[in-house]
Amino acid sequence: MDPENVVSVIVAGAEAASRSRITELIGNHPRVSVAASAATPGDAVDSARGRRDRPVIVLDLRGFEDPPAAARECAVSFPVVVIARSNDDPEIPSLLQAGAAACLVIDTITPQQVVEAVTKAAVGDSYLAPAIITRLFEEFRRSPKNISGPGGDLTEREREIMGLVSQGLRNRQIAAALFLSEKTVKNHINHIYRKLQVNDRSEAMERWGRGS
């Protein structure tokens, strides 16, 4: 494969055994190359800055006191794939809000998932492990169903999207989860704002949390 099409990866995590496992999962794949291993987010960022290309940081969050802060520290400068402790980890929405481009689950990750997440993150796309998508939809089903505003009731698709917005997903991540274009998601969200007569995401989330 052309070296220019190979994505460099910095594997980061507090546990050396976990870093080794992740490296072994993807180490022989032709689309990715593990460039370095780091024990802290700061070390991962320093390693990434020392390279000519723009690596993706794969960050195992176990062992870090504040996982969203760890993700944010890396995501400020580089694409980040985070590995959560479980698919029902309550911090997943915060990790996505912190800037993570992709999220996997440590107990169920496969080489294919890691490679797909890394290659998508490298070009600005998103990836969520299937178990996480299932969990977020379960949260959606427990969310208010009949929300409406002065501009009318939300459609089923709008409620579905608003449920994912309330979980902290950005437009790009919602698009990936629902197999829609980012433009389509943006249009739906604009319709939601008009119906609820709100101006931004935070107001819409507050209204969604209250229900109708």
For the whole model, what pTM was predicted? Answer: 0.79
**Portion of the chain with pLDDT greater than 90, in percent:** 49
Size of the chain, expressed as the number of residues it contains: 212
Query: Are 166 and 61 part of one and the same domain?
Result: no
Q: What is the DSSP letter of 142?
A: T
Range of the domain at 113: 3-129
Query: Are 155 and 94 part of one and the same domain?
Result: no
Query: Are 30 and 113 part of one and the same domain?
Result: yes
Taking 60 as the threshold, does the pLDDT of residue 2 lie above it? no
Q: In the listed set 76, 97, 129, which residue is the last one of a domain according to the structure?
A: 129
pLDDT tier, 156 (very low <50, low <70, confident <90, very high otherwise): confident
Query: Are 92 and 195 part of one and the same domain?
Result: no
Taking 70 as the threshold, does the pLDDT of residue 70 lie above it? yes
**Portion of the chain with pLDDT greater than 70, in percent:** 94
Is 135 among the domain residues? no
> How far is the CA of 103 from the CAs of 16, 107, 164, 188, 197, in angstroms?
20, 13, 15, 24, 32
Query: Are 186 and 124 part of one and the same domain?
Result: no
Is 160 among the domain residues? yes
Query: Are 181 and 158 part of one and the same domain?
Result: yes
Q: Domain count for the chain, please give it.
A: 2
Select the more confidently predicted residue: 200 or 209: 200
The predicted-structure confidence for 7-45, as pLDDT tens digits, reads as follows: 999 999 999 999 999 999 887 889 999 999 999 999 999
Query: Are 151 and 121 part of one and the same domain?
Result: no
Per DSSP, the three-state class of 105 is strand
Please give the Cα distance from 122 to 44 (Å, whole number). Answer: 16
CATH no. for residue 197? 1.10.10.10
